[in-house]
Structure 1
Amino acid sequence: MEHTWRWFGPNDPVTLGDVRQTDATGIVTALHHIPNGEVWTPEEIHRRQAEIEAAGLTWSVVESVPVHEHIKWGGPGRDEAVANYAQTLQNLGEAGLRTVCYNFMPVIDWARTDQRWQLPNGGYAMRFDFAAHAAFDIHILQRPGAADDYSAEDLERAEQWFARADDQARAALSETVLIGLPGSEESYDLDTLRGGLEPYADLDATAVRGNLAAFLREVVPAATASGVRLAIHPDDPPRPLFGLPRVVSDADDVQALLDAAPAVANGLTMCVGSFGSVPTNDVVAMTERFANRIHFAHLRNVTLEADGKSFFEDGHIDGGADMVAVIRALLREERRRSREEEDAIPIPLRPDHGHFLLDDLTRRTYPGYALIGRLKGLAQLRGIEAAVSAMLDAELGEQEGRS
């Protein structure tokens, strides 16, 4: 597998020189300065590519080419945004970039309620506390009808959280929820978040799923022609938030989107932590089932808490998912491709998120994207890969010996 590292461009506190020392060889990045929905020109793509190559690295995965909100809810700028997306895929393919990660989460992408939740070892992790999320939705955002989306137990826990939180805790929660994705220009205040939710007020999951299918039917042919493989990222966490439908949350959702455009170019990012954030997803089974359409792997792990809705980012080889079995399934698929596909490339993996450890505690980094914590995770993942690869080699030798 190809070992890659998420880098947010020239303003990232973790430099390309830092990345070189992690022994990652591939960079996962995007042109964050280009507004969503506009074309990424060949000039801009090559400029970023040259910057990365000058540091002795390779731009291996584009994460992400953002999908404009008008595509997700069917707004007036939808057709232009889809055409621009297809053109961007063509430009990326012509530059030799073959893997594009994206998501179809309306308005809010990955959501957490705590950026630095202290671990027993003194480090820090990100956490999603469902009671805090509900308290924000109902009592701080004051979304109309929000209380109808929660059980009586959830409402009571949200009320308790809000009652015991002081102004500082409420402000910290709001900042965490509204911060937006690292490296992007998209963040919210309460009013802009409320405004962003409005177009989805009358849309259910069926409608949003239909918009995703229509988008795929239009852009997958462009991806196929350009030699680009699309890898959709699952919902994070995989449950409705703020009344918004989430349509890439489980195996049925994945099967539906793959069926909507049944070409190899229409594929999946296996984000172990995202799918693993609800108890009903069997991440190993999903990896095995969809292996031939997995084009990128986000390898991180979470531990679910007692309510089954809250979780924290655990160590990459800890948490609820069997990371050894996941990597084994990916390596088996990678070997199949090398045997059967003339243009096969290694499956890129990256250590997604990471604990704040040691020097991270004094270094400025984006939430979830600490240097030392990810370095630790990458080392653990590489160790698993080496061990599993040796086991697969031994199994193959035994099979050949019996034949």
Structure 2
Amino acid sequence: MTAEETTRGGARRDVVILGSTGSIGTQAVDVVTRNPERFRVVGLAAGGRRVDLLARQAAALGVEAVAVPHESAAEELRSRLAAACTDREAAPPKVLAGPDAVAELARWPCDVVLNGVTGALGLSSTLAALDAGRVLALANKESLIIGGPLVAERARPGQIVPVDSEHSALAQCLRGGRAAEVRRLVLTASGGPFRGRTRAELADVTPEQALNHPTWNMGPVITINSATLVNKGLEVIEAHLLFDVPMDRIEVVVHPQSVVHSMVEFVDGSTLAQASPPDMRLPIALGLDWPHRVPDAAPAVDWTRAHTWRFEPLDEDTFPAVELAREVGRIGGTAPAVYNAANEECVAAFLAGRLSFPGIVDSVARVVSEHTPMRSCSSVEDVLAADAWARIRAREVLAAAPRRGASRDGSSRRGPAPTGKEDECP
């Protein structure tokens, strides 16, 4: 790679960060503040649960606008902004509030929109950024998965840059060959806290155990999704949509060390892998400045030390979520929206003690099997209708499901927690 490809010159990129007080957002702010010659933040959006942090971010970065989705948070935000921006010569940033505020900020004049919110709520912001012609650094995988056809028809080639560590790795590896030379994509999975267990051994798993991820420090929903492998199933669908590779040419391999983030196998038998310590600042920085690399975005592998990396096949009998996602991805249309929405309801039930751990994917599978997919959804309303149906049906299924019977605590000491992958819901 040439020096011109690794180091960018020219004007700074103006950035809007959606979900700025979540883990993805705070790490993006860190990347920006350490590289003021490359980036300038012009807008921030967050859910409103951490208004004080949002106001401090806005004041420190000198943004033009701040968005929250609830009017109830706007008054406190304005008050805190007035106090935090007393040293600014300019007036405090404009406050956008209401259900359409985050999407409105996604259309704000800028070069890049980082969508770091969680769940289906991110779809409107993804579409708004694409329609406005912005480069979309996408950490909100759900908006691509549930809105696949809608997102695909709006996005120009190269307009979406993945921020998930696995898909960022694939994008980097795909630079090593032409599309026709790709045999398959290989997504790596840590295996979560229950790697090596049988299905029977998962029956009494507690939320405390499931939240004890061995590698990443994440929010509760994505941590449970990683434990069930639902998150990896979503990533298989995302890889299919991002890179236009058939579902049967996307594999999942378990890699407990989480250093090799994904791989691309080419037709001549060679495989390219992207390796780095688990730190989301690297794919965030690359997403903000794609295709250019940001020097020292995150620590590199220490090659002066001995390393042992393992790769194991996925136990799909114990963790059926990936194969279920493959089927959902093949069906397409509104099926992925149903998979995602039903899972969110089931995760909430598990965390509340109303559902067993294996019951999460079992219940999702039942809801998916009962859905008649609209294969060519033509509007956001179609997607949201499928999402709503799935949530209602999931609650009905959950009401009749046996409650989780685990009684032991199961909490264990958490290992070192690298910078996490948690997103924020607006």
What TM-score comes out, normalization by structure 1 length? 0.26
Higher RCO structure, 1 or 2 (CA under 8 Å, sep 6+) = 2
TM-score where L is the length of structure 2:
0.25
